A and B are shown apart, each in its own frame.
Chain A
Amino acid sequence: MTAIVEFWNNLHPLLQGVIKGLAVIGVMFPIGGACSLVERKVSAAIQGRPGPNRAMPFWFAWVPVIGPFLQRLGVFHLMADGAKMFFKEDSLPGHVNKFYFLLAPVVAMIPALTTVTVVPFGAYFDEAGRMIPLVLANLDVGILAVFAIGSLGVYSLILAGWASNSKYPFLGGIRASAQLISYELSMTLAVVPVFLMINVPGGSGTLSLTDVVGFQSGTWQGLTMASLHGTWFIMTMPLAAIIFLVALFAETNRLPFDMAEGEADLVGGFHTEYGAMKWGLFFVAEYSHMLIGSGVFTLLFLGGWNPLPFVPLASVVGWLAHLSPLFQHPLAVGLLSIGIFLAKVLFFMFLFMWVRWTVPRFRYDQVMKLGWQKLLPLAIGNLIFYAVLIALLQPKL
């Protein structure tokens, strides 16, 4: 064990970074794929049908109980889908702008996989009891980097829509760009109160997502200001959380804000002309966006890797340490925190699917109206309210 740690520490930092990055991508890609399967299963269950349950490698049928069970679960459809995407004929329409047409899916993947670098997905404690986040790059600009890079995703939609040189994809791209830019505003404004809260005047300012979670990991101290550190921001700022969540749905192009690809009015929207793995990249990028978005929401409003309000990770580790000191090992704490964080993120992935089958798709003008006339004033009002409140309260914090 120590030899491995030694070997790891002696690696070149660049190499370490590459390995860590590949590891994170290696987890995100399969989760994205698995989500596409879960999406089909959840859709089916809500609609009262069994969903994918046919595909099975022929030799797997020999395994007595597990084989049929996995077949009913539809897990092999994931492989079938993947194989199809890789081996199906990848046609390139003759009328497209080839360079940008091929570039668009790649551009879709870049922000999806880049934002993950600043999103912490767990933490452990060093000997001094300080919280060390598990994050690829613990930048102080945290949330700013997420918004800056995440909003680049709109380029892929515009590129795909424009380069397809066809009317429906073009309209899809236009709609998507307008929608994404509109909701970016309210999304960002909804987050500002959170950072007003965690940044004490006079101290060094931070936009790091880790510090947001750090602020939310406190215990119950009675009805005092100190207890604010144990609450989650969804309890103290519910309106901001709702605005952020709605904007997140719009940003990730999920129903009911499915303007970019509304198949009823736009065939397939911006990806009408795409097929095979090029289309698959858009698909994975959408799920990666959802994963990152849910992760950011969890970190900002749901206490990150803290299991419950007023029950931070440190307390849980303390209780577990009574059972066995092994639980205090950084590896165990890291795995526990990642587990808690992932559970919350996966709940949000489920919420995305759940809402998809509940709320019908908005009309385009309704989307714009909601974004500009409802959410944006709400977000501004919310910001002013909390700015005043924090200015009044913070001297006592």
Chain B
Amino acid sequence: MPYVVERKPLTLLERVYIPQILAGLRVTLKHLFAPNVTMEYPEQRPPIPAGYRGVPTLVKDPNGREKCVSCQLCEFVCPPKAIRITPGEVPADQPDRAHVEKAPQAFDIDMLRCIYCGLCQEVCPEEAIFLQNQFSMTGYTRAEMVNDKARLYELGGTLPDQHFKWDKKKDAAEHGNAH
């Protein structure tokens, strides 16, 4: 059922304009003295809702170990090809990482290319990459806009983890039933 808005002819006072303009001036004058509604950004930050998808970051497991195993799935799935991973082995001289399969040697995300689609987070089998609430990525050079591994871990920090994958692998290895 279409709804027809009937255009009423203007009254004489409305056609004279002046009273209408004066009424408008009253409204704007009220706004002139009303408090500002602006948030002054660098000093005041907006509250970030839970589940916000900002800058992609790498996270560590509760024991402070890298979760990323450099499987390169995120690099493969990334639509704008923003992610570059150089796969690497875990050094043998680190006993607390003895059961970690692999780790990236280098992990770069070019934030000038990243489109914040979150596919990397979806595809990651180790839940190592997360889009977190960091929303303000700025820099003066192109090089500054490339997040390297150290920066990604600094942004990501540690997320609570329910799986303790490496601990389970360690238990399995110690009790002799690997797979």
B24 contacts A358, C-beta separation under 8 Å: yes
1/0 per position for A36-52, CB-CB distance to B under 8 A? Answer: 00000010011111100
Q: How many A-B residue pairs have CB under 8 A?
A: 36
Q: Is the CB of A45 within 8 A of B32?
A: yes
Known contacts A47-B31, A49-B38: A355-B25 contact under CB 8 Å: yes
Q: Is B6 an interface residue (CB 8 A)?
A: no
CB distance from B31 to the nearest CB of A (A): 5
Collect the chain A residues with CB atoms within 8 Å of residue B33's CB: 45
CB distance from A14 to the nearest CB of B (A): 47
Report whether A50 and B21 are in contact in the complex, using a CB–CB cutoff of 8 Å: no
Which residues of A are found within 8 Å of B36, using beta-carbon distances? 45, 48-50
A242 within 8 A of B: yes
Are B31 and A46 in contact (CB-based, < 8 A)?
yes
Interface residues of A in 228-262 (CB under 8 A from B): 242
Query: Contacts of A358 on B, CB cut-off 8 Å?
Result: 21, 24-25, 27-28
Mark out the residues of chain A between 40 and 82 whose CB falls within 8 Å of any chain B CB in the assembled complex.
42, 45-50
A374 to chain B, nearest CB (A): 9
Contact between A359 and B32, CB atoms less than 8 A apart: no
CB distance from A335 to the nearest CB of B (A): 30
The chain B residue with its CB closest to the CB of A48 is B37
Query: Does B18 interact with chain A (Cβ within 8 Å)?
Result: yes
Q: At the interface, is chain B mostly helix, strand, loop or mixed?
A: helix
CB–CB A357/B28 < 8 A: yes
Confirm or deny: A347 has a beta carbon within 8 angstroms of a beta carbon on chain B: no
Cross-chain contact A354 with B34 (CB below 8 angstroms): no
A354 touching B29 in the complex, CB below 8 Å, given contacts A242-B18, A359-B21, A359-B24: yes
Q: Flag whether B174 is at the interface (Cβ < 8 A).
A: no
Binding site for B on A (CB under 8 A): 42, 45-50, 242, 354-355, 357-359
A149 to chain B, nearest CB (A): 30
On chain B, which size bracket covers the interface? 10 to 19
Smallest CB gap from A374: residue in B: B17
Instruction: List residues 41-67 of chain B with CB under 8 A from any CB of chain A.
Output: none
Docked pose: A138 CA to B35 CA in angstroms: 47
Contact B40 A50 (CB under 8 A): yes
What are the residues of chain B within 8 A of A48 when measuring CB–CB? 31, 34-38
Q: Which of chain B's residues have a CB closer than 8 A to the CB of A242?
A: 18
| Closest chain A CB from B46 CB (angstroms) | 15
Q: How far is the CB of A47 from chain B (nearest CB, A)?
A: 7
A56 to B31, CA, bound (A): 27
Measured between alpha carbons, how far is A358 from B38 in the docked complex, in Å? Answer: 20
The complex places the Cα of A295 from the Cα of B117 at a distance, in Å, of: 59
Distance between B28 CB and nearest chain A CB, rounded to angstroms: 5
Which residues from chain A contact B18 at a C-beta distance below 8 Å? 242
**Given A355-B21, A359-B21: A46 and B28 interface contact (C-beta under 8 Å):** yes
Residue on B with the closest CB to A359?
Answer: B21
Tell me how far the C-beta of B165 lies from the nearest C-beta in chain A, rounded to whole angstroms: 49
B30 CB to nearest A CB, Å: 9
The closest CB in chain A to the CB of B33 belongs to A45
Determine if B28 and A50 form an interchain contact, defined as CB atoms under 8 angstroms apart. Answer: no
Q: How far is the CA of A49 from the CA of B36 in the complex (A)?
A: 5
Sampled A-B contacts (8; CB under 8 Å): A47-B31, A49-B37, A354-B25, A355-B21, A357-B28, A358-B21, A358-B24, A359-B21
Closest 9 CB pairs of A and B: A49-B38, A358-B24, A48-B37, A358-B28, A45-B32, A46-B31, A46-B28, A46-B32, A358-B25
